[in-house]
Amino acid sequence: MNLFKIGVIGIGNMGTSHIQTLLNNEIIGATVTAVCEYRDERLTWLKNSTDKEIDYYNDIEKFLNEADIDGVIIATPHYSHPELAIKSFAKGYHVLLEKPAGVYTKNVLEMNEAAKQSGKVFSLMYNQRTNPLYQKLKSLIEAGELGEIKRTNWIVTNWYRSQSYYDSSEWRATWSGEGGGVLLNQAPHQIDLWQWTTGLMPVKVQAFCMEGKYHDIEVEDEVTAFVEYENGATGVFITSTGEAPGTNRFEIVGDRGKLVVENNQLHFYRLTQSEREFNATFTGGFGEPECWKIEVPVHGENTDHKGIIQNWTDAVLHGAPLIAPGEEGVKGLEISNAIYLSSWLKESVSLPLDSDLYYEKLQEKIQESTFTKKTVKNVTLDVQGTH
C-alpha cells in the first residue's frame, strides 16, 4: 500500500477538523476518499468546501460495504464508538477512534478484543501524548529520576465551557447521549496522561461529582477525586468547566523530588539525596534535603491531532509504533467510571472496577433523566485552539 485511503465517520466538531487536515494534504501518505454523516447539511457543507473526489454516504452499512477505503476515523458521539469500531474491524479496516474509547468499560473491552482478532491498526485520539512536555515527563519518571512516586496531584480547570456550548447539540451533556460531562468530554486527555506518564493505575477511588453546578445540564461540570495506588501513594484529580480563569497544574512527588508541569513548562525540584535516606540519617532536628530547582529543557513540536493521524498512517504504511494504541483507552475510562461510581454510591470503590455494577447504575441515571427531550439548534463549532 502506497496511499492510505481514509473514510471519516461523523462531520461534527472534531470530524470537521480531521477532514480539513486531510483535505489540506497535511498527512503524508494519506488521503480522504469517503465520509459518512446522517445530517444532509453537513454533507452539503463538505461538498461546497472542496472539489476533491469524495464519496458521500448517510448510511453506515452502505459506507462500510461500498466505500473505497483502507481505514476509518470515527468522530461520532461517545456511545457509538465501540459499536462502529467493531463493525469497522469486521470489514477489515484500520481504525482511529476519537476519545473517549466509549462510555463504559464493558463494551470497550469487547471492542479491544475485536481489534485484537482483526489484526488491524487501532489507535485512539489521545493527542496530548504528542506533547513533548508530557513525553519528557514520562521519560524522567521511567528513568527513575524521581524515585518511587509518593503523590500525584492534577488541577485542570481550564476547560471552561459556556452554556451555549452545551446547547449546541441535543446529545451533549446528557446521560443518554454523551454518558457524562467533563470527565468524558474534556478531561479524558488528562486522565489518560495521569496514568500514562506515571505508569500508575489507582486501586481505590473516592470522588465527588457535582452535576449541573455551573450550567443547565444533568451531567457533572465539577469533579474532585481522591485515589490510592498499590504502592501506598495517593493522588488528587480536580477538574471543572465552570471556572474562569482556570488552572492546569500537574505535580508528581517522589522520593527524589517533585516534577511540576504548568504554563507549558516542566520544572524538576530535584533532591540531592533521597528523602527517605535523609529522614533515616539526619540528626539535626529541623532540616530537609538540599533541593535544586531545574527548568527541564523540552524540545520538539506538539503535533496534536495531526500528529496522531500521521502516526496512525505511518503505523499502517510502515509499521511505526503507535503513540496511543487504541486498546489503552480502557485505562482512562476505567478511572473515570470509578470516579462516577464512587460519587453515585457515596463511597469508595476499588479497581479493577465492577463493570456490571457501573453499567447498571448508568442505566439508572439514564432512566431518571429529565433531559431526554432536550431541544436545541444543532451547531457545528470551530474547535481550533480549544484542546
Query: Which residue ranges make up each domain of the chain?
Result: 4-127+303-325, 129-300+332-367
Find the range with the poorest average confidence among 183-187, 190-194, 376-380.
376-380
- What is the rounded average pLDDT of the residues 210-225? 98
- Report the alpha-carbon distance of residue 182 to residue 191 in Å, rounded: 11
Using pLDDT thresholds of 50, 70 and 90, give the confidence band for residue 375: low
Using alpha carbons, list the distances in angstroms from residue 162 to 221, 239, 338, 381: 11, 15, 27, 13
Q: Among 267, 234, 149, which Cα is nearest to 198's?
A: 149
pLDDT tens by residue, 260-289: 999 999 999 999 999 999 999 999 999 999
DSSP tag of 212:
T
Q: How many percent of the chain have pLDDT more than 90?
A: 93
pLDDT at 171: 87
Instruction: Give me the chain's average pLDDT, please.
Output: 95
- What is the rounded average pLDDT of the residues 60-73? 98
First to last CA, the chain: 33
- What is the rounded average pLDDT of the residues 202-213? 98
pLDDT at 371: 80
Question: Cβ–Cβ contacts within 10 Å for residue 290, how many?
Answer: 10
- What is the rounded average pLDDT of the residues 377-385? 55
- What is the rounded average pLDDT of the residues 228-233? 98
Question: Does residue 40 sit in helix, strand or coil?
Answer: helix
- Report the alpha-carbon distance of residue 303 to residue 356 in Å, rounded: 38
pLDDT tens by residue, 153-171: 999 999 999 999 999 888 8
pLDDT tens by residue, 323-338: 999 999 999 999 999 9
pLDDT at 292: 98
4-127+303-325 homologous superfamily: NAD(P)-binding Rossmann-like Domain (3.40.50.720)
Rg over CA atoms, the chain: 22
* Contact assessment for residue 366 and residue 175, using Cβ atoms and an 8 Å cutoff: yes
Using pLDDT thresholds of 50, 70 and 90, give the confidence band for residue 381: low
| CATH 3.30.360.10 describes domain 129-300+332-367 | yes
* Three-state SS annotation for 345-368: HCCCEECCCCHHHHHHHHHHHHHC
Flag whether pLDDT at 40 surpasses 60: yes
- What is the rounded average pLDDT of the residues 377-381? 57
